[in-house]
Amino acid sequence: MKHIQQTVLWTMAAFLLCAANAEAQKAERKHVREGNKLYGEEKYTESEIAYRKSLEVNPRSIEGTYNLGNALYKQQKFPEAAEQYQLIAGQSEKMKETEEGKARLAAMYHNVGNIGMQNKEYAKSVEAYKQSLRLNPKDDETRYNLALAQKLLHDQQQQQQNQDQNKDQNQEEKKDEQNQQDQQQQNQDQQQQDDNKQNKTQQQQQPNEQMSKDNAQQLLDAFLQDEKDTQEKVKKAQAQQQQRRRTEKEW
C-alpha cells in the first residue's frame, strides 16, 4: 500500500512539473513573439523589454538571447549586445545542428564584426567576419566587410609601426641631446677647474713677486743712500781743501 502511495506521489509531481514546463514555454514563446512584432516595427527598446521577459522565464533560451542581442545592437548598445552574442557563441555547437541555427550564428558573427569596426578593433572584426563566412560563404556583405576590416587592420598596424619608429627615433635624439648637454657640462666643469687652478697658482706667485719688488726697492734705497753719503764726503773734503788754500795765501 505504501509503495502505491509513493508511486502516485511521483506521478503527480511529474505531471505538475510537466505542466509547469509547458506553461513556462508558453510564456517564453509569448514574450518572444511580442518582441519579434515590436522588433519588426523598429520599436527596439520595447522589443528589448519583451525579450528580457522571455529570458526571465528561460535564461537559456537561444532565441530570446539572440533576439535580445539584435535589439541591443539596433539601439547601438554595443557592449551589451556583444555580451549576449558571447552567450550565443557558447551554444554554437548546438545551433550548428540546424540550418536555421547556422544562419543565426552567421548573422551573429557578422554583427560582432560590425561592433569591432565601431570600436576600431579591426583584428576582432576580421576574425568575426571569417567565422560568419565559414557558416554562410555566400554572404557578399560579410565578404566586403572582411576585406575592409583587413585593409583597416593593415593601415592600423602600419600606423602603429610608424609611431613606434618615431618614438624610438625621438628617444635616440633625446639621448644624443642629453649626451651633448652632459659633455658640455663636463667641459664647463673642466674649464672651471682649470681656471680655479690657474687663479690659485697666480695667488701663490704674487707674494713672491711682491717680495722681489720690496727687496729691489730696499737695494735701490741703500744704493741711493750710499751715493748720498759719498757725495757729502766729497763735498766735505773739497770744502776742507779750499779752507787750507785760503789759509796758505793769507800767510
Domain ranges of the chain: 24-79, 91-156
- Identify the weakest region by mean pLDDT among 13-22, 35-44, 143-152: 13-22
98 φ, ψ to 5°?
Answer: -125, 155
Q: Which of 15-29, 133-147, 192-206 has the highest mean pLDDT?
A: 133-147
Give the helix/strand (H/E) hosting 96. Answer: none
Q: Report pLDDT digits (tens) over 125-150.
A: 999 999 999 999 999 999 999 999 99
Are 167 and 154 in contact by the 8 Å Cβ rule? The answer is no
Average pLDDT over residues 6-14: 49
Asked if residue 58 lies in contact with residue 24, where contact means CB atoms within 8 angstroms, the answer is yes
Residues in the chain: 251
Indicate if the pLDDT at residue 33 is higher than 90.
Answer: yes
**Which of 76-90, 162-176, 180-194, 220-234 has maximum average pLDDT?**
76-90
Q: How far apart are CA 190 and CA 184, in angstroms?
A: 10
As a whole number of angstroms, the distance between CA 102 and CA 135 comes to: 6
Equal fold, 24-79 vs 91-156: yes
CA angle 28, 30, 33 (to 5 degrees): 110
Q: Cα 168 to the chain's mean position, in Å? A: 14
As assigned by CATH, the class of the 91-156 domain is mainly alpha
| Residue with the larger pLDDT of the pair 32 and 250 | 32
Contact 116, 124 (CB under 8 A): yes
Please compute the mean of the pLDDT values over residues 71-99 and round it to a whole number: 93
Output the pTM of the full model. 0.60
Whether residue 202 is predicted with pLDDT greater than 80 in this model: the reply is: no
* Confidence band for 250, pLDDT divided at 50, 70 and 90: very low
Q: What is the pLDDT of residues 50-69, one digit of tens each?
A: 999 999 999 989 999 999 99
Instruction: CATH number for 24-79: choose from 1.20.1250, 1.10.10, 1.10.3470, 1.25.40.
Output: 1.25.40
What is the distance between the alpha carbons of residues 60 and 68, in angstroms, rounded to a whole number? 12
